[in-house]
Amino acid sequence: MVRPVATNIRALTLALAVAFLVASVGVAYWTMFASESLAQDPFNPRLIAASRDRPRGQIVDRNNAVLADSVPTPDGFKRTYKDRTLAQVTGYASFQFGLSGVEAAYADSLIGQDAADPASAWRARYLRERVPPGAVVLGIDEKVQKAAADALGGRRGAIVALDPRTGVILASVSVPTYDANEIVDATKQQTAWDQVTKAQDKPLVNRATSGLYPPGSTFKVVTGAAALESGFDPNQKLRVDDPYQADKSWGTYFVRSASHAHGDFSMPDGFRLSENIYFAQVGLRIGAAKLADYAKRFGVGGAPACDLAAAKGQLASEGSIDRPTLLADTSYGQGELLVSPLQMALIYATIANGGVMPTPHYATSVRDNQGHVIREIAPGPIGQVIRPDTARALTAMLVGAVEGPGAFAFGAKIPNVHVAGKTGTAENVPGSAPHGWFIGFAPAEQPTVVVAVIVENTPEGGVTAAPLGAAVMRAALNK
Amino acid sequence: MRSRGAAPRAALHVGAVRGGSSGGGAPRTAGGGVPRRRTAELGLLVWVALLALAGFAAVVGAETSAFGPAVIVVPAIYLGLVLALHVFLVLRRFRGDQLLFPLAAALTAIGLVLVQRLASDLLLQQLSWALIAGGAFVATILIPRDLTTLARFKWTWAFLGLVLLVAPLLPGIGREINGAKIWVKIGPGSIEPWEAVKLLLVIFFAGYLEEYREVLAQAPRRIGRFPVPPIPYLLPIIAMWGMAMVVMVFEKDLGATLLFFGIFLAMLYLATGEAFYTLIGLALLLGGGFVAYHAFPHVAARVDIWIRPFADELRFGAGYQLVQGLFALGNGGLIGAGLGNGLPERIPVVWSDFVFDAFAEETGFLGAAALLAVYLLFVYRGMLIALRAPTTFLQLLAAGLSFIVALQTLVIVGGNARLIPLTGITLPFVAYGGSSLVTNWMLVALLMRVSDASARIRGT
């Protein structure tokens, strides 16, 4: 006897009812449980749409100078941006192209939904009311920012300055830049967007946080720190004869000295004269594991925990330093290393800060529309990376690298202030000029500012970058 | 539904059709001269009217669409149509189910409100389609006079279905829109013939399986516990299904492929009760999906979008639509942004592919769940009609038709909510689109006629 059709109909109906239940659970997930994370997505047009019929909060610097504002127009509120040198930092809030920079990172606060204000968060969530937005305050210091922008001028590159004690970013310049006003302008937006997205030199990228470069000699502090903490004696002299290879197995591969040096070098000499062969030998002595360990402690190969998006660097393309020539090259900052200027600034901030790495951040507080601070942004330090005595020893050698006889980084000197710092001349694509680095901090005894400078493709390398660093530090120190 | 002790032969079980016993003075025999009141239906239509008016008022009030004469005229014409259809049923002394018509009318009203909300320039077109759908409904109620004719001409339906399936591939009349060759140009517009094919397929399967279901269900041989189907009797339906599959591969419409496969499996199960056939079918579906994933780039793309829509290379490209749809859902919350206050218009082609997400954004989880409940109620009502139908053909027909609505809803809602890969199936009655609306109203008419037939035989 064949089963009656009615029985099959009942079974099918039951199966369909279960399927409808599953579908509604799925819908419940997206509408209620995933809604928080979806709402925060910088490409969710709802974040920006909220500011069309009501103003979006201001972005201001530490002196309350307005960097981004919403002005009423007949078609609703329009966003205006005041400082072109901060274009990649403040970002844009485009109805068409989404959010970037502070506009993205603090999108909730800028539409009056900061999580630190539970009442407004509750009202926004359940009553769909938004309080008038307040402001996001950045740690940017107008005069340091101007000094950095002037110092770099039209040269491609980046400068980032921060306070090593707190991680507050004081200045952040990335060249070339773009005009965010055009990105949010209804009539110009498409042309402007096509132009900036197709440009070879990528003006939308914040080179300070997301430009990745080989660090060159500025990386030698990492090798130095690893050696000092492994019990290596900095005063031990190592023989340098240009060109150098550890043994015949290197074949035609040599490490070259920038000054074609022949002589005996201690670690202070190595820093002062930026001797690649000295640091290559130090690296080979302490070994790949030790060097990689310290590089990782300093955050190399990771992305800095910054409030704005920051790029992830690279220690070695395969993830590990797997051969002696790569170890030698990595030890003086070439090899396959890639770092952002912010990452290097943090490494030097760690040395300036007694071995404790601060957490970098652009914003320092969020205010409500009455001007009351809703939330202080003061993330604690990332942690103790090296010992205080290691930091002191490195600082002394970095002062020598600026002020010592014949020092490469002499251009970073400031009258009456001791400056610690290091230049770098980073080889990149064969055939193009090297990138010039300077990273330093001052005053060496009680550092209050760290600056990282990179000038792309400059024949003079680090020599070009050092005076730019000095100009920024002088502005920060009022000297 | 019924008590446990009821006779298993539900088809002949005599029970009061809910709401059917109203109309105190109505004649008890078919063919009486006095119109038969449909009080329950009329009462429910009042709610449909309120729904339509409130919906249009909300959309206009939120200023998302301009206030124009269409805003008043369209709901008025639509409600006039609904009332006219009701009066037509009353005058016909129609005895069929009184719930299906208000449910379908409510869904169509929601569809009109959403077209006004999301693409108001298409509103008059959608209204015209609703009028045509009303005409198709009336025609299906009147023709054929006897439903069993449908079973007699099953091979005709199969042939017609195949012709319609192939039509979009023919040069001259076929059109390709958004990569799928599923359209046929007629005059200034174009229609999707497969919408009609799904009805023809169910009618054919119901007719064929009524005849051969006993042979198919009582497999003469078994390997272990598994029945070996009598292949010769399966061949016609496999051929029918296979041709649908092949054509769909050429027309590149995943949604229709999935729907045809689902109808095939469901009808086979309904007729034979062999869960084993269903399992084999699902295994074939997964296997076929795996092969298609590797063989056809457009299938692989759909699956990729489903698995990782938020990947950087997809969210601005192929996955953009789904990601925007999920953003819309996320904005829904429990009670929604309010009709007209969300931002669903940011989803590309929202009015046809993503109406569900748009509705969920503006009415929240509660609204979306209520919408799903309306569909489930429709399906439940349809299945109840199937249970009470007097012949196996009518049982299979009603269950198959209800299954179409259920599967289509599940596939598109599942696709919109990223539970399954997205396919271009329309949300029945609600999504913008003429062919779909017209065939769905014919489907409603067929279901109601099955119900009418059982009521007349039982004399209730």
Whether residue B115 is predicted with pLDDT greater than 50 in this model: the reply is: yes
Give pLDDT, residue B24: 38
Return residues 355-394 of B near A (CB < 8 Å): 360, 364-365, 368-369, 372, 375-376, 379-380, 383, 386-387, 392
> Is A423 within the bounds of a domain?
yes
> Is A14 within the bounds of a domain?
no
Contact A193, A203 (CB under 8 A): no
> Is A107 within the bounds of a domain?
no
Cα-based distances in Å from A142 to A64, A119, B261: 10, 34, 67
> Is A462 within the bounds of a domain?
yes
Please report, rounded to a whole number, the percentage of residues in chain B having pLDDT higher than 90.
Answer: 41
Give pLDDT, residue A213: 95
Of A5, A17, A31, the CB nearest to B271: A5
Which letter, b or e, does each residue of A217-231 get, where b requires 16 or more Cβ atoms within 10 Å of its Cβ? bbbbbbbbbbbbbee
Whether residue A462 is predicted with pLDDT greater than 90 in this model: the reply is: no
> Is B2 within the bounds of a domain?
no
Return residues 105-144 of A near B (CB < 8 Å): 125-126, 128
Contact B161, B200 (CB under 8 A): yes
Flag whether residue B332 sits within 8 Å of chain A, measured between CB atoms.
yes
Cβ-defined contact of A23 to B271 (cutoff 8 Å): no
Which residue, chain included where needed, has tokens 């016909």? B92
- Looking at chain B, the number of H-run helices and the number of E-run strands are 17, 5
Flag whether residue B399 sits within 8 Å of chain A, measured between CB atoms.
yes
* More reliable by pLDDT, B18 or B235: B235
Nearest to A275 by CA among A287, A288, A285, A266: A266
What lies within 8 Å, CB to CB, of A227 at 6+ separation is: A234, A267, A282, A285, A286
Cβ-defined contact of B375 to A20 (cutoff 8 Å): yes
Q: How far apart are CA B172 and CA B184, in angstroms?
A: 9
Mean pLDDT of the region A241-264:
89
Q: How far apart are CA B59 and CA B367, in angstroms?
A: 15
Flag whether residue B276 sits within 8 Å of chain A, measured between CB atoms.
no
Which residue range is the domain that position B188 belongs to? 34-458
Using DSSP bridges, classify how beta strands A135-138 and A363-367 pair: parallel, antiparallel or unpaired: antiparallel
Domain count, chain A: 1
Which residue range is the domain that position A229 belongs to? 210-365+377-477
The H-or-E segment that residue A94 falls in is: strand A93-94
> Is A106 within the bounds of a domain?
no
Q: Name the phi and psi angles at B82, rounded to 5.
A: -60, -45
Of A6, A23, A128, the CB nearest to B10: A6
Residues B226-276 pLDDT 10s: 666 677 777 776 776 676 667 667 777 788 888 888 898 899 899 988 888
First-to-final CA distance of chain B: 17
Q: In what order do the strands lie in the sheet with B174-177?
A: B174-177, B180-186, B189-191
Contact A211, A174 (CB under 8 A): yes
Flag whether residue B331 sits within 8 Å of chain A, measured between CB atoms.
yes
Q: How many CB atoms lie within 10 A of CB B176?
A: 12
> Is B286 within the bounds of a domain?
yes
Q: How far apart are CA A180 and CA A196, in angstroms?
A: 10
> Is B7 within the bounds of a domain?
no
* More reliable by pLDDT, B364 or A479: B364
A36 → chain B, closest CA residue:
B330
Whether residue B18 is predicted with pLDDT greater than 70 in this model: the reply is: no
- Selected for mutation to probe chain B from A7, A13, A51 (highest B CB count within 10 Å) is A13
Q: How far apart are CA B207 and CA A201, in angstroms?
A: 69
> Is A195 within the bounds of a domain?
no
Distance of residue A40 Cα from the nearest chain B Cα, in angstroms:
10
ipTM value for the complex: 0.89
Nearest to B333 by CA among B346, B342, B323: B342
Mean pLDDT of the region A7-12:
94
> Is B18 within the bounds of a domain?
no
> Is B13 within the bounds of a domain?
no
Nearest to A89 by CA among A10, A5, A170: A170
Residues B208-217 pLDDT 10s: 999 888 887 7
Flag whether residue A53 sits within 8 Å of chain B, measured between CB atoms.
no
Domain count, chain B: 1
Give pLDDT, residue A180: 95
Size of interface A-B (CB pairs under 8 A): 150
> Is A326 within the bounds of a domain?
yes
Flag whether residue B225 sits within 8 Å of chain A, measured between CB atoms.
no
Q: How far apart are CA A66 and CA B297, in angstroms?
A: 51
CATH number at residue A268: 3.40.710.10
> Is A414 within the bounds of a domain?
yes
Using DSSP bridges, classify how beta strands A363-367 and A373-376 pair: parallel, antiparallel or unpaired: antiparallel
Cβ-defined contact of A23 to B372 (cutoff 8 Å): yes
Of B271, B331, B409, the CB nearest to A35: B331
Of A3, A23, A125, the CB nearest to B417: A23
Give pLDDT, residue A108: 83
Return residues 124-163 of B near A (CB < 8 Å): none
Give pLDDT, residue B244: 63
Cβ-defined contact of B346 to A22 (cutoff 8 Å): no
> Is B194 within the bounds of a domain?
yes
Cβ-defined contact of B365 to A34 (cutoff 8 Å): no
Flag whether residue B405 sits within 8 Å of chain A, measured between CB atoms.
no
Nearest to A61 by CA among A361, A364, A374: A364
Between vectors from CA B180 to CA B177 and to CA B183, what angle results, nearest 5°? 60
Q: Name the phi and psi angles at A18, rounded to 5.
A: -65, -40
A16 → chain B, closest CA residue:
B406
Mean pLDDT of the region B24-49:
71
* More reliable by pLDDT, B408 or B72: B408
Flag whether residue B217 sits within 8 Å of chain A, measured between CB atoms.
yes
Phi/psi class of residue A133: alpha, beta or left (left: φ > 0; alpha: ψ in -120 to 50)?
beta
- Selected for mutation to probe chain A from B12, B343, B371, B384 (highest A CB count within 10 Å) is B343
Nearest to B195 by CA among B119, B264, B253, B267: B253
Residues A343-366 pLDDT 10s: 999 999 999 999 999 999 999 999
Nearest to A333 by CA among A233, A258, A430: A258
> Is B11 within the bounds of a domain?
no
A128 → chain B, closest CA residue:
B337
Cβ-defined contact of A7 to B329 (cutoff 8 Å): no
